[in-house]
Structure 1
């Protein structure tokens, strides 16, 4: 009887086009990833509520096991990704143009993290030089991404990699071309990401002997 009712129920859901949506919510990779939690909370988090970078899931799964505790990281843009890196690396610095957002995110950051407040413009683009060091990973996920890519590439360590998020956008093509012309190879990670339902792309640029072992 229970099996019959279950079959009838799924039949009704499928007939009105809701069967797939219900199945995804009850048991699916998206549920395991925490996508539904991120959608409802409007925060980039996993199923347990832990912070995640707002990258494609495919790239998060690729990147996480390759992160090492001695890495130095710089981000254009800050948020849950800053928290995520901070829990895994030696030091992370970020630059953010939105002062109000800094006040929200700053109390949540671990002690090895710092966010620089800079208005949009040259001081934002050049913030990567603030600490006088080079970085294993530089993430371009904020404002002026083409200019930031061009400037930041000079602050990568010999084994450093650069991550360009939302790289499917046509207006970021010059940034991709620039890295290619500098001799970097690239891998695109397409797919869904937390919070939203559309597809995006996260691209990692690397050279031989890079810190991620690609």
Structure 2
């Protein structure tokens, strides 16, 4: 399949170079926007429990900052790679790392978690729409829901490639449902011109209506 270079303009090239330089200088940081990383650094504590869907550098980064992390990965080869990273960093006792190639089961693992059990969740893997909906009741009031590449799924005005516009609508009906569920949450939408990361803060007084 031929690559699409329609987004390669001067602004994008400048933004992409800035991201590459930042990532080169910070090899241990998650592949999220700089602003979202700063936000998380100011929020996370050693008492927190979190969930990430999709693993990698973020797995090690989170585990070093929080009390306990559940991480779910769909790609078996990548799972083995991250397993080695976890062992090298001696973090096995702080991470419940799960391999789950079956996408239906992948999303169901979120549903199986206890309600109000998570201080934060990073959605950066497969079936992001279902996982984002499923995790809402699992996050404690005042907790965070972080979704990477959010510009691919919800209508927005971002300059990042493949961003949806109002005319495009939501990527799926599940994303439409998600947007309705979190409409009262405070949202911090960040972008580096290459990718976007959004952080929703669950209201302290939030009560879900089913």
Q: TM-score, normalised by structure 1?
A: 0.68
Rounded to whole Å, the distance in 1 between the matches of 2:36 and 2:173 is 19
CA deviation vs aligned residue, 1:100-158 (integer Å, no higher than 9, x gap): 11111112121311211112322100222555462100111100111111111121112
Between 1:169-178 and 1:146-155, the stretch displaced more is: 169-178
The one of 195, 198, 206 equivalent to 1:203 is: 198
- Matching residue of 1:94: 71
1:47 to 25, 33, 55: 25
Equivalent runs, 1:128-207 vs 2, <5 Å: 128-129=110-111, 132=114, 134-169=117-152, 170=164, 171=171, 174-175=174-175, 178-182=178-182, 183-191=184-192, 199-207=194-202
Number of residue pairs aligned between Structure 1 and Structure 2: 169
Note closer, same or farther for the CA distance 1:91–1:176 as it changes in structure 2 (3 Å cut).
Answer: farther
The answer to whether structure 1 residue 65 and structure 2 residue 42 are counterparts is: yes
Which position in structure 2 is the counterpart of 1:13?
none
What is the CA distance between 1:94 and its match in structure 2? 0.8
Unaligned runs of 5+ in 1: 1-20, 39-45, 193-198
Q: Are the equivalent residues in 2 in contact too, given 1:56–1:202 (CA < 8 A)?
A: yes
1:14-68 deviation digits (Å, cap 9, x = unpaired) = xxxxxxx8xxx9xxxx4xx8x4374xxxxxxx6264x211101121122212211
Alignment-derived partner of residue 122 in structure 1: 104
Q: 1:147 to 1:129 in 2, by over 3 A?
A: closer
TM-score normalised according to structure 2 size: 0.69
In the alignment, structure 2 segments of 5+ residues that lack a partner are 1-13, 153-163, 165-170, 206-210
What RMSD in Å do the two structures reach over aligned CA positions?
2.9
Contact 2:133 2:174 in 1 (8 A): no
Q: Structure 1 residues 132, 114: closer, same or farther in 2, change over 3 A?
A: same
Q: CA, structure 1 residues 180+204, in 2 after alignment: closer, same or farther (shift >3 Å)?
A: farther
1:142-190 CA-to-partner distances (Å, cap 9, x unmatched) read: 0011111111112111222111110111327953751443432311011
- SS state of the match for residue 36, structure 2? helix
- The 3-state SS of whatever aligns with 2:72 is strand
Query: Is the 2:74–2:103 contact (alpha carbons within 8 Å) kept by the matching residues of 1?
Result: no
